[in-house]
Amino acid sequence: MIYKKRYASPFIIWIIVGTVIPLASIAYYGFMDRTGSFTFTNILAMFQPNHLQALGLSLLFAITSTVICLVLAFPMAMILRESKFGKQGFMIFVIILPMWMNFLLRTMAWQVLLERQGVINSIITAIGLPRQELMNTPGAIVLGMVYDFLPFMILPIYNTVSKIDKNIIEAAYDLGASKIRTFKDIIVPMTVPGIVSGVTMVFIPSLTTFVISNMLGGGKINLIGNIIEQEFTVNSNWYLGSGLSLVMMIFIIISMLLLQKFDKTGGENLI
Amino acid sequence: MKKTLANIYILIIMLFLYLPIIALIVLSFNESKSMAVFTRFSLKWYEELFQSELMMRALINTFSIAIISALIATVVGTLAVLGMNSMRTKSQNALMAFNNIPLLNADIVTGIALMLFMLILKIPRGYGTILFSHATFCIPYVILSVKPRVNKRTDKLYEAALDLGATGKYAFRKVVLPELWPGIMSGFMLSFTMSVDDFIITYFTRGAGINTIATLIYSQVKVGIRPSLFALSTIIFIVALVVLVIINIRQSKADKDNKMAFNL
């Protein structure tokens, strides 16, 4: 009992005003129609074919990009654990630095790289392959997701991997475990909290993005994020927009529960 | 052999992370407005940038919002960690669950929630509402950075200082605060970075007539982004690079000094 509990009161007030009441406002609009009476229409609107299709596509893209991020990030974390680059906060530095170039510009830069006359097509044609249509494709959107959110997968996995005691791994070898067995039975289980944190931090923003699909999909591919955004900015139908957002919160709640189950540190691996 | 493969892998990932940034920096020096061909080296976009009141104002907004909201978040977050330390584990866990909501929630949902809240209460949206929203999503970063530093060890250190005759305030300032300081600093830096990089939450909580760099970029996406915005981002990026390198060098030097002190 060193510190006064009331030091936490500004934070508690902030939670109520900045998080609880605003989320309640979404629920308020989500369960209301234009006349102000209670309805489930906005929630059930998720089952309309065009919304369902957008949600399915979003899920597909989000799962794909999360898996790619995981596959890319795990070896990176393992390498950094053993290399000299892993020390002295260098890693955090290298991964945070790109954020100083605004994320909209970084995403847009992929347009430059993917265009018909762009850098990547020049390389493709240089090795004798035909020019590819890379922009405005699902592939471009997934690439944008992987690019934007990869750091959020690397950091939590690196955080847990770097905390594994070297002696534990050596003990496994001494007891006769093969490299693969050590990886499967020692390293991966000990990294689960980081993996779950990373998966959440990539999956949710990928699932709900509207910016990446706008910029790299050329506005032709509608994800659920685009639909929600348009309800607020173009159609001015806050009720429908709120209803769809509430449905999206189901995925967010699931990921919070998963995180609570696997990460006992209370989210310290997230950053 | 294994080492070479590992280094190649790091190189590929780094290339992936930095390739678009390099492309933007190159394009900021391109004379033509085309994003496809580099015609000739030119500084004209840098000139345009400094003459554009719109961009200068967006720059000032972005950074003043980032500094103020990161400061608010750092103070509120650090105090919260101290206060929570005296609470029962159950209450702590409950508060931490709420703390993680803005972190895990989709930005679009956070942004819409804050916007609807402001609309219901008829709070006019502008600079103040962006500031409030940014502090809201920055506080969790500060709490997660500072919380691991307040533990049994710092409690014991504090008590030891009291036993040796220090007053509570003095013991906190001289013994506890230096222990928390790295966490507080990284919380501040993270908040600041997240605030500068944010687009989605700003997009929903800003009113008409106020722009940050991000919203200015988004407003030009459909018509073609002016290369002077690339120039602006290049300058910010280079400044950040220099500042972060200096911080890193100083920190690793401080770490070395610390180790030496321990060895003595």
pLDDT for res B260: 57
Among A92, A97, A91, residue whose Cα is nearest residue A79? A91
| Chain B partners within 8 Å of A210 (Cβ) | 108
Q: B199 and A102 in contact by Cβ < 8 A? A: yes
Taking an 8 Å cut-off on Cβ atoms, the answer to whether A76 and B9 are in contact is yes
Burial A161-170 (b: 16+ CB within 10 A, else e): bbeeeeeebe
CA A59, A61, A67, A73 torsion: positive or negative? negative
B80 token code pair? 């919260």
Q: How far apart are CA A238 and CA A232, in angstroms?
A: 6
Query: CA A238 to CA A226: how far, in whole Å?
Result: 14
- Burial class of residue A90, CB neighbours in 10 A (0-12, 13-18, 19+): middle
* B196/A99 CB distance under 8 A: yes
Q: Would you mind telling me the total number of residues written for chain A in this entry?
A: 271
Query: What tokens does B150 get?
Result: 């307040």
**Does the distance separating the beta carbons of B112 and A119 come in below 8 Å?**
no
Consecutive H or E run containing A24? helix A21-30
- Is there a contact between B240 and A97 if contact means CB atoms under 8 Å apart? yes
What does the radius of gyration of chain A's CA atoms come to, in whole angstroms?
22
B108, B113, B148 member nearest A228 (Cβ): B108
Using an 8 Å CB-CB cutoff, list chain B residues near A83.
6-7, 10
Residue numbers of B between 32 and 61 with CB closer than 8 Å to A: 35-37
In angstroms, the Cα distances linking A85 to B11, B169, B190 are 12, 40, 20
Mutate to test the interface with A, among B112, B114, B155, B186 (most CBs of A within 10 A): B112
Find the residue in B nearest to A24 (Cα). Answer: B113
CB of B219 within 8 Å of a chain A CB? The answer is no
With a CB cutoff of 8 Å and minimum separation 6, the contacts of B175 are B154, B157, B158, B160, B161, B166
* Rounded percentage of chain B residues whose pLDDT exceeds 70: 95
**Burial code of A4-14, b = ≥16 C-beta within 10 A, e = fewer?**
eeebbebbbeb
Find the residue in A nearest to B212 (Cα).
Answer: A102
Condensed to tens digits (0 to 9), the pLDDT of residues B156-193 reads 888 899 899 888 889 888 888 998 998 999 899 999 99
Closest CA to A136 of A212, A217, A213: A217
Q: Are residues A101 and B13, on separate chains, in Cβ contact within 8 Å?
A: no
CATH for A49-233+256-270 is: 1.10.3720.10
Length of chain B: 264
Does the distance separating the beta carbons of A25 and B103 come in below 8 Å? no
A residues 236-265 closer than 8 Å to B (CB): 238, 241-242, 245, 248-249, 252, 255-256, 259-260
B20 touches chain A (CB under 8 A): yes
What's the token pair of residue B67? 């500094």
Would you call A38 an interface residue with chain B, using a CB distance cutoff of 8 Å?
no
pLDDT single digits (tens) B87-144: 998 999 899 989 989 988 999 999 999 999 999 999 999 999 999 999 999 999 999 9
A256/B101 CB distance under 8 A: yes
Closest CA to A153 of A214, A93, A68: A68
Q: Domain spans of chain A?
A: 49-233+256-270
Could you give the dihedral angle defined by the CA atoms of residues B61, B66, B72 and B78, in that order, rounded to the nearest 10 degrees? Answer: 180
Q: SS3 sequence, A54-109?
A: HHHHHHHHHHHHHHHHHHHHHHHHHHHHHCHHHCCCHHHHHHHHHHHCCHHHHHHH
Is the confidence at residue B264, as pLDDT, over 50?
no
- Nearest by CB to residue A22, choosing from B16, B24, B113, is B113
Question: What is the spatial distance between Cα A186 and Cα A181, in angstroms, rounded to a whole number?
Answer: 8
**Residues in a beta bridge with B41:** B30
Band (pLDDT 50/70/90 cuts) for residue B212 is very high
Q: Which helix (H) or strand (E) holds B158?
A: helix B152-163
Cα distances from A128 to residues A115, A139, B59, B160, in angstroms, run 18, 22, 45, 73
Q: Do the beta carbons of residue A160 and residue A194 sit within 8 Å?
A: yes
Give chain A positions within 8 Å (CB) of B117: 21-22, 25
Whether residue A252 and residue B103 make contact (CB cut-off 8 A), yes or no, is no
> What pLDDT, in 10s, does the model give residues B220-241?
887 888 889 999 999 999 998 9
Tokens of B136: 């809201």
DSSP B198: -
- Closest C-alpha to B195, from B136, B240, B147, B238: B136
Q: What ipTM, to 2 d.p.? A: 0.89
Residue that is written with structure tokens 């699932």 in the block = A207
Query: What are the chain A neighbours of B80 within 8 Å (beta carbons)?
Result: 7-8, 10-12
Q: Which residues of B touch A225 (CB under 8 A)?
A: 106, 108
Which domains does chain B carry?
Answer: 65-224 (1.10.3720.10)
What span, in angstroms and rounded, lies between the C-alpha atoms of A244 and B93? 29
Answer whether B101's CB lies under 8 Å from A11's CB: no
Q: How far apart are CA A180 and CA A172, in angstroms?
A: 11
B237–A101 CB contact, under 8 Å: yes
Q: Which residues pair with B30 in a beta bridge?
A: B41
By CB atoms closer than 10 A (0-12, 13-18, 19+), residue A86 is: middle
Which positions in chain B touch A96 (Cβ < 8 Å)? 190, 193, 244
C-beta separation of B97 from A20 below 8 A: no
Q: B53 pLDDT exceeds 60?
A: yes
Side chain identity at residue B248, one-letter code? N
Give me the residues of chain A with pLDDT under 50, please: none
Q: Tell me how far apart the alpha carbons of residues A69 and A65 are, in angstroms, rounded to a whole number.
A: 6
**Rounded Cα distance, A122 and A132, in Å:** 10
Tens digit of each residue's pLDDT (9 = 90 or more) over B65-91: 999 999 999 999 999 999 998 899 899
What is the overall mean pLDDT for chain B? 89
